[in-house]
Amino acid sequence: MRKFPVLCSVAITALIGAMVVACQSTGSSGASDANAKLRVGGPPPSDTPYRMDNAIQDVMEGIVAPSSDILFDAVATDITASGVNEKKPTTDDDWEKVEHAAVNLIEAVNMIKMPGRLIARPGEKTKSEGPDAPELTPEEIAAKINMDRAKFLNYANTLQDQAVKTLDIIHKKDAQGLFNIGEDIDNACEGCHLEYWYPNDKQAKAAFEADQKLRKAEQQKKEQQGK
């Protein structure tokens, strides 16, 4: 006659234990993650010491884009009616500015790679959305990344590798090297954007593929000349 209460007690204990495990695995107190569809890499670890108040879109617009622009614009040749104007870092302040931009770019990629970060803030949209829009919605971008997170990390690492090379070039105060690597940084960014942000933009994809073919042909020509 006492078996039922005992079995009932065991079942309740097991159920509570399962609920605790479930809460721990989601990093919450049992409440559903309202932003799960925007989150990349699953929920952040419950014991993480890091705050992720900003989304990947915030990091890209607030750090990656302006830092890249500083590096792109650091070395240039402007041809005007009055003559040719060469622009490049010359003073210590000039080199310090591009150094800071390279450091920002390296560390921004670490922020982007952190698991649990949102693609965009809830309610925010990408520049173009809809069934035929070139740019995917934040939810679609997150879903695409989460299907193969290793692939996304590879794109991020490619950009970070170029940023590390850039910092080394800056430490050598190599203006020509800084100019040359600008295209590699741009290609790393565009390759990732075409994969995740606007894979339906046929014009941008065609331009990127044409540029890649040209770069490959130039590289082969250099290799042949070097033999």
Per-residue confidence at 216, pLDDT binned at 50, 70, 90?
confident
On average, the pLDDT of the chain sits at 85
| Least trusted range by pLDDT, from 5-19, 37-51, 111-125 | 5-19
Instruction: Judge whether residue 64 has pLDDT over 90.
Output: yes
The stretch 142-165 carries a mean pLDDT of: 98
| Least trusted range by pLDDT, from 8-12, 54-58, 63-67, 129-133 | 8-12
Tokens at residue 193, please?
């954007």
| Least trusted range by pLDDT, from 1-5, 38-42, 132-136 | 1-5
pTM across the whole model: 0.80
- Domains identified in the chain and CATH numbers: 33-226 (1.20.120.10)
Tokens at residue 106, please?
């390296």
* 3-state SS, one letter per residue, for the chain: CCHHHHHHHHHHHHHHHHHHHHHHHHCCCCCCCCCHHHECCCCCCCCCCCCCCCCHHHHHHHHHHHHHHHHHHCCEEEEECCEEEEECCCCHHHHHHHHHHHHHHHHHHHHHHCCCCECCCCCCCCCCCCCCCCCCCHHHHHHHHHHCHHHHHHHHHHHHHHHHHHHHHHHCCCHHHHHHHHHHHHHHHHHHHHHHHCCCCHHHHHHHHHHHHHHHHHHHHHHHHHC
The stretch 176-188 carries a mean pLDDT of: 96
- Determine how many CB atoms are found less than 10 A away from the CB of residue 142: 24
The stretch 95-111 carries a mean pLDDT of: 98
Nearest Cα residue to 50 out of 113, 97, 1: 113
Q: What are phi and psi of 2, to 5 degrees?
A: -100, 0
The stretch 100-125 carries a mean pLDDT of: 96
pLDDT of 15 reads 40
Instruction: Judge whether residue 221 has pLDDT over 50.
Output: yes
pLDDT of 18 reads 41
Per-residue confidence at 194, pLDDT binned at 50, 70, 90?
very high
Per-residue confidence at 91, pLDDT binned at 50, 70, 90?
very high
d(CA 64, CA 189): 9
pLDDT of 22 reads 39
Nearest Cα residue to 46 out of 71, 63, 67, 29: 29
pLDDT of 158 reads 98
pLDDT of 33 reads 83
Of residues 107 and 227, the one with the higher pLDDT is 107
d(CA 126, CA 141): 10
pLDDT of 224 reads 80
d(CA 94, CA 96): 5
Per-residue pLDDT of 145-154, as tens digits, reads: 999 999 999 9
